[in-house]
Structure 1
Amino acid sequence: MVAEEEVVSMFDETTIKAQRAARSENWRLFKKIFEEDKKRLVEPFDLFGNTAIHIATRSNNPRLLHELLEMLSEKERWHALRKGNCVNNTLLHEIVLGTAVEMVGVVLKFEKEAAPEEEKRRVALLEIQNDSGETPLFVAAKLGRLEMLKYMARHVEGDITSHFVRFDKYSALHASILGQFFDVAVWLIKMDEKLAQHKDMNGMTCLQLLSNMPLVFRSQAPAMGTVKNLIYKMLPEEGYEIHDDDENESADYTHQRKDIESGQQDEAKFPSSDRWRINYAIWRTLAKEFDGIGRIWKLKKQHKLAEHLSELLVQKDFSWQISFHENLHPLIMSPVLSKSDRIKHTHHMKEMHKTNSEMSRSTSYRPITTEKLSIPHYKNYTPLLLAAGSGIVEIVGKIIDRFPEAICHVSQDEHNVLHMAVKHRQLKIFNLLKKHSAFKSLIFRITAEGRTLLHQISRMEFYVEQHLPGVAFQLQDELRWYERVKHIVPTYYLMHCDKDGLTAEDVLEMEHREMHKEAKGWIKETAQSCSTVAVLVATVVFAAAYTIPGGTNQNNGFPMFLGSRVFLFYTVTDVVALVSSLASVLMFLSILTSPYELWDFRSYLPRKLSLGFAFLFFSLVCTMLTLSATVLLTIRLGNHQKWAYVLFGCAVFFPVVIFWRMQFPLYNMFQRLAQRLFKKLTRAVPNYLVKYSGKRSQTRNYHGISMTS
Structure 2
Amino acid sequence: MAESERESIKEQISMFDEKMISAQRAARSENWREFKKLFEVDRMRLLDPLDLFGNTAIHIATHSDNPNLLQELLELLPRQERWRAMRMGNCVNNTLLHEIVFCTTVDMAGVVFKLEKELQEEVESYDPLVEVRNDSGESPLFRAAKLGKLKMLKYMANHVVGDIRSHFVRFDRCSILHACILGQFFDVAIWLLKLDGNLAQHKDMDGLTCLQLLANMPLVFRSQTPSMGAVKNLVYYLLPDEGYEIDDDYDEKGEEEEESVSFRLRTDLESGPLDKAKQSEFNGIGHIWQKKKQHKLAECLAELLVQKDFSWQISFHSNFQPLIVLPILSSKLDRIKEIQLMKEKRQLVEIAHSRISKPLLKESISEASHFKNYTPLLMAAGSGIVEIVEKIIDMNPEAISHVSQDEHNVLHMAVKHRQLKIFNLIKRNSAFKSLIHRITGEGRTLLHQVARMEFYKEQRLPGVAFQLQDELRWYERVRRIVPPHYLMHCDKDGLTAKDVLEMEHQDMHKEAKSWIKETAQSCSTVAVLVATVVFAAAYTIPGGSQNGTPVFFGSRVFLFFTITDVVALVSSLASVVMFLSILTSPFELWDFYKSLPRKLSLGFALLFFSLVCTMLAFSATVLLTIRLDNKEWTSILFYCAGFLPVAIFAWMQFPLYKTLQKLVRRLYNRVKQV
TM-score normalized by the length of structure 1? 0.88
Q: Which residue of 2 aligns with 1:690?
A: none
Give the deviation of 1:347 after TM superposition.
3.3
Distance 2:450 2:664 in 1: 26
Matches within 5 A, 1:166-315: 166-243=170-247, 290-315=282-307
Distance 1:652 1:464 in 2: 41
User: Is the contact made by 1:343 and 1:502 (CA closer than 8 Å) also made in structure 2?
Assistant: no
Q: Does 1:144 align with 2:148?
A: yes
Greater CA deviation, 569-578 or 4-13?
Answer: 4-13
Question: Any runs of at least 4 consecutive aligned residues in structure 1 with deviations exceeding 4 A, and if so which?
Answer: 1-6, 248-254, 286-289, 359-375
- Uncovered stretches (5+) of structure 2, i.e. residues with no partner: 262-277
The Cα offsets for residues 572-617 of structure 1, whole Å up to 9 and x where unpaired, read as 1111111111111111111111111111111111111100100000
- The secondary structure found in structure 2 opposite 1:317 is coil
Q: Which residue of 2 aligns with 1:493?
A: 486
The Cα offsets for residues 607-638 of structure 1, whole Å up to 9 and x where unpaired, read as 11100100000000000000011110110113
Distance 2:2 2:378 in 1: 71
**Equivalent AA in structure 1 for residue 144 of structure 2:** A
Sort the Cα spacing of 1:368 and 1:132 in 2 relative to 1 into closer, same or farther, 3 A.
farther
User: Is the contact made by 1:288 and 1:294 (CA closer than 8 Å) also made in structure 2?
Assistant: no
Distance 1:669 1:597 in 2: 21
User: Is the contact made by 1:92 and 1:126 (CA closer than 8 Å) also made in structure 2?
Assistant: yes
Greater CA deviation, 161-170 or 123-132?
Answer: 161-170
Q: Which residue of 1 aligns with 2:379?
A: 386
The Cα offsets for residues 445-483 of structure 1, whole Å up to 9 and x where unpaired, read as 000000000000000000000000011101111111111
Distance 2:402 2:306 in 1: 15
Distance 2:319 2:353 in 1: 35
- The secondary structure found in structure 1 opposite 2:668 is helix
Distance 1:620 1:477 in 2: 29
User: Is the contact made by 2:520 and 2:583 (CA closer than 8 Å) also made in structure 1?
Assistant: yes
The Cα offsets for residues 223-274 of structure 1, whole Å up to 9 and x where unpaired, read as 011110100000000111324799x9996999xxxxxxxxxxxxxx9xxxxx
Greater CA deviation, 17-26 or 218-227?
Answer: 17-26
Sort the Cα spacing of 1:372 and 1:493 in 2 relative to 1 into closer, same or farther, 3 A.
closer
Q: Which residue of 1 aligns with 2:137?
A: 133
Sort the Cα spacing of 1:244 and 1:295 in 2 relative to 1 into closer, same or farther, 3 A.
farther
**Equivalent AA in structure 2 for residue 204 of structure 1:** L
Sort the Cα spacing of 1:185 and 1:480 in 2 relative to 1 into closer, same or farther, 3 A.
same
Give the deviation of 1:78 after TM superposition.
1.2
Q: Does 1:653 align with 2:643?
A: yes
The Cα offsets for residues 312-331 of structure 1, whole Å up to 9 and x where unpaired, read as 00000000000001243422
Distance 1:61 1:375 in 2: 51
Sort the Cα spacing of 1:250 and 1:166 in 2 relative to 1 into closer, same or farther, 3 A.
closer
**Equivalent AA in structure 1 for residue 89 of structure 2:** G
Sort the Cα spacing of 1:171 and 1:441 in 2 relative to 1 into closer, same or farther, 3 A.
same
Matches within 5 A, 1:544-559: 544-554=537-547, 557-559=548-550
Q: Which residue of 2 aligns with 1:634?
A: 625
Give the deviation of 1:683 after TM superposition.
2.1
User: Is the contact made by 2:47 and 2:85 (CA closer than 8 Å) also made in structure 1?
Assistant: yes
Greater CA deviation, 466-475 or 12-21?
Answer: 12-21
The Cα offsets for residues 67-116 of structure 1, whole Å up to 9 and x where unpaired, read as 10111222211111111111110001011133332211111111111223
Q: Does 1:335 align with 2:321?
A: no
Sort the Cα spacing of 1:249 and 1:672 in 2 relative to 1 into closer, same or farther, 3 A.
farther
- Correspondence for 2:593 among 602, 605, 610: 602
Q: Which residue of 2 aligns with 1:591?
A: 582
Distance 1:566 1:220 in 2: 51
Matches within 5 A, 1:544-583: 544-554=537-547, 557-583=548-574
- The secondary structure found in structure 1 opposite 2:235 is helix
- Aligned-pair identity (%): 71
Sort the Cα spacing of 1:396 and 1:518 in 2 relative to 1 into closer, same or farther, 3 A.
same
Q: Which residue of 2 aligns with 1:64?
A: 69
- The secondary structure found in structure 2 opposite 1:207 is helix
Q: Which residue of 1 aligns with 2:168?
A: 164
Give the deviation of 1:295 after TM superposition.
0.4
- The secondary structure found in structure 2 opposite 1:536 is helix
**Equivalent AA in structure 1 for residue 103 of structure 2:** G
Q: Which residue of 1 aligns with 2:663?
A: 673
Distance 2:14 2:559 in 1: 91
Distance 2:87 2:129 in 1: 7
- Correspondence for 1:101 among 99, 102, 106: 106
**Equivalent AA in structure 2 for residue 354 of structure 1:** Q
The Cα offsets for residues 425-459 of structure 1, whole Å up to 9 and x where unpaired, read as 00000000000010000000000000000000000
Q: Does 1:471 align with 2:464?
A: yes
**Equivalent AA in structure 2 for residue 169 of structure 1:** R
Q: Does 1:432 align with 2:431?
A: no
Q: Which residue of 1 aligns with 2:274?
A: none
Greater CA deviation, 225-234 or 331-340?
Answer: 331-340
Greater CA deviation, 371-380 or 623-632?
Answer: 371-380
Distance 2:249 2:652 in 1: 47
User: Is the contact made by 1:399 and 1:406 (CA closer than 8 Å) also made in structure 2?
Assistant: yes
Sort the Cα spacing of 1:185 and 1:250 in 2 relative to 1 into closer, same or farther, 3 A.
closer
- The secondary structure found in structure 2 opposite 1:116 is helix
Q: Which residue of 1 aligns with 2:475?
A: 482
Give the deviation of 1:357 after TM superposition.
5.3
User: Is the contact made by 1:584 and 1:616 (CA closer than 8 Å) also made in structure 2?
Assistant: yes
Give the deviation of 1:526 after TM superposition.
0.7
Q: Which residue of 1 aligns with 2:50?
A: 45
**Equivalent AA in structure 2 for residue 127 of structure 1:** E
The Cα offsets for residues 491-543 of structure 1, whole Å up to 9 and x where unpaired, read as 11110111111111111111111111111111111111111111111111111
Q: Does 1:26 align with 2:31?
A: yes
Sort the Cα spacing of 1:288 and 1:572 in 2 relative to 1 into closer, same or farther, 3 A.
closer
Q: Which residue of 2 aligns with 1:14?
A: 19
Sort the Cα spacing of 1:11 and 1:185 in 2 relative to 1 into closer, same or farther, 3 A.
same
Q: Which residue of 1 aligns with 2:408?
A: 415
User: Is the contact made by 1:458 and 1:508 (CA closer than 8 Å) also made in structure 2?
Assistant: yes
- The secondary structure found in structure 2 opposite 1:494 is helix
- The secondary structure found in structure 2 opposite 1:21 is helix
Distance 2:421 2:626 in 1: 57
Distance 1:299 1:200 in 2: 28
Distance 2:2 2:618 in 1: 92
User: Is the contact made by 2:215 and 2:385 (CA closer than 8 Å) also made in structure 1?
Assistant: yes
- Correspondence for 2:313 among 318, 321, 330: 321
Paired residues in the alignment total 649
Give the deviation of 1:353 after TM superposition.
4.8
**Equivalent AA in structure 1 for residue 624 of structure 2:** L
Sort the Cα spacing of 1:662 and 1:2 in 2 relative to 1 into closer, same or farther, 3 A.
closer
User: Is the contact made by 2:378 and 2:409 (CA closer than 8 Å) also made in structure 1?
Assistant: yes
The Cα offsets for residues 298-348 of structure 1, whole Å up to 9 and x where unpaired, read as 000000001000000000000000000124342234222435434433432
Give the deviation of 1:673 after TM superposition.
0.6
- The secondary structure found in structure 1 opposite 2:243 is coil
Distance 1:343 1:628 in 2: 58
Give the deviation of 1:558 after TM superposition.
1.2
Greater CA deviation, 674-683 or 414-423?
Answer: 674-683
Give the RMSD, CA atoms, in angstroms. Answer: 2.5
**Equivalent AA in structure 2 for residue 450 of structure 1:** G
